[in-house]
Amino acid sequence: MHTDMSADLWKSAASVLDGNWAHDHMVPSRRLYPHQWSWDAAFIAIGLAYVNPTRAWRDLRSLFEAQWPDGRVPHIVFDPLTAEGDYFPGPAFWDVPAYGNRPARGSTGLVQPPMHAIAAWEVYRRAASHGARCAHEAGEQLKWLYPRLVAQQEYLTGRRDTGGRGLASIVHPWESGLDNSPSWDAAMSGVPADLGLLDRYRRRDLQVADAAHRPTDVDYARYLGLVINYRDGGYEDAGLAHRHAFLVECPSFNAILAAAELALVHIAAVVGADPMIHRRRARRITEAISTHLYDERTATFRSRDVRTGTLSPARCVSGLMPLLLPDLPREQAEAIMAEAASPRFGLPGTTGLPVPSYDRTAPGFDTLRYWRGPIWINVNWLLRRGMLVHGYRGEAEDLREAMVRLVHDSGHYEYFHPETGAGIGAPMFSWTAALSLDLLA
């Protein structure tokens, strides 16, 4: 790849991360997302590992300081220096219960995909290249994080196994990180949409972003209704199957959950804990994904609605994520590669672009609306990682080059138009910048 292009991109990525640092954490973007988000912090740490490892650890630590006693790591940790009105729904709406060592900062009661063990391991293994002081810091930080990462996994594999199949359920589309993905359409159609809620609360996102690029009002009414139901039950998970309208097993969330156990195998070995526990858990989750989320008929991974037991009809980028798992049966890894190369996703060989978030050939494919079509760098980064796990080196390199070219030409946007490559959503978006650094390194 052209070295000037790489140098330019490296510089601009590092400056986005400098600009988005907020005293002890990184914001995804200044205007649209002025707090700390959980899986963003993990992707961000992976990039900070190259330019500022101390900040990578600080960001992860700020997030885990807000971990709940039951092990859940909140999907947003609110910055007390940011006004309530700067993001909706803010801390007052979430109204999370107080607990003993509760930090000064509020949080939500939802989670996001547990990318953090993967990130912590990536930051740790790069630390030595920054010198002895960084290597020492990394060892100390890893020791602090390990029990917290284990508690996070145990919360998700224990209390969140609402279907009893050895998979974690998400209780809200926001937990997937793929908010308005068509993967949830079938399950969400049964969730009441009280549009009156939107008269009472104002959608802050529509004041700072284009409505055509965001989830709809009906989506938001459902999102709020689900939060209210979970909140009013004290964010308790017991018995959710009987009192919550949305419970879904997502192949992407669960693939990340299993990949996190594999990262914990390495971390446990460094901190003097037993790696075998994590290896066994990774294998169990992989088997559950492979058995329960794979649709033999279409040879694709789908999300499963826990309440009805049915697989979603939508073919989404989340179905490509189990490629992250080395123990996935060979024919399923091959099926993912075939799906990624098909006209539905079109690997860069055919389109010159990274894969979109949704099937290009589906009638509901929307080039602008968030997770219903646009290209996102984080899921493409995960797909490339999966390609490397399974030895698809040529495809992984093509995908890497397509991502680098796209971000270089269009900027560090939140997401990208899947036909023109134009940047959409928030500019100067942290995880796009952070993962660009990793792709260039």
Q: Which residues bind ligand 2M8 (CB under 6 A)?
A: 28, 33, 37, 39-40, 75, 174, 177, 179, 205
Report the residue number, 248 or 268, with the smaller CB distance to ligand 2M8. 248
Q: Of 166 and 425, which CB lies nearer to ligand 2M8 in the complex structure?
A: 425
**Cα(29)–Cα(190) distance, integer angstroms:** 33
Separation of alpha carbons 69 and 236, rounded Å: 12
Q: How far is the CB of 227 from ligand 2M8 (least distance, A)?
A: 11
Nearer to ligand 2M8, 174 or 253 (CB): 174
CB closer to ligand 2M8, 16 vs 328 = 16
- Strand duo 423-424 + 415-416: pairing: antiparallel
Separation CA 67–CA 62 (nearest Å): 9
**Minimum distance of ligand 2M8 from residue 229's CB (angstroms):** 17
Which of 279-301 are b and which e, b meaning 16 or more Cβ less than 10 Å from the residue's Cβ?
bebbbebbbbbbebbbbeeeebb
Measuring CA to CA, how many Å separate 365 from each of 173, 210, 357, 373, 419? 18, 18, 9, 5, 11
CB neighbours of residue 212 within 10 Å = 12
* CB of 166 or CB of 215, closer to ligand 2M8: 215
Task: Give the active site residue among 84, 179, 217, 397.
Answer: 179
- The verdict on whether 339 is a catalytic residue reads no
In whole angstroms, how close is the CB of 363 to ligand 2M8 at the nearest point? 23
Do residues 125 and 142 touch, judged by C-beta distance below 8 A?
A: no
Distance between the two ends of the chain, CA-based, in angstroms? 12
Out of 175, 305, 395, 414, pick the active-site residue: 414
Residues 271/146, Cβ–Cβ less than 8 Å: yes
Minimum Å gap between C-beta 358 and ligand 2M8 is: 14
Q: With respect to ligand 2M8, which residue has the nearer C-beta, 205 or 249?
A: 205
Q: How far is the CB of 178 from ligand 2M8 (least distance, A)?
A: 7
> Is 423 within 8 Å of 377 (Cβ atoms)?
no
Alpha carbons 113 and 170: distance in angstroms, whole number:
9
CA 398, CA 387: separation in Å to the nearest integer? Answer: 11
**Tokens 């930080």 belong to residue:** 141
Query: Catalytic: 154?
Result: no
In the bound complex, what is the minimum distance in angstroms from residue 31's beta carbon to ligand 2M8? 12
- As annotated, the active-site residues are 179, 414
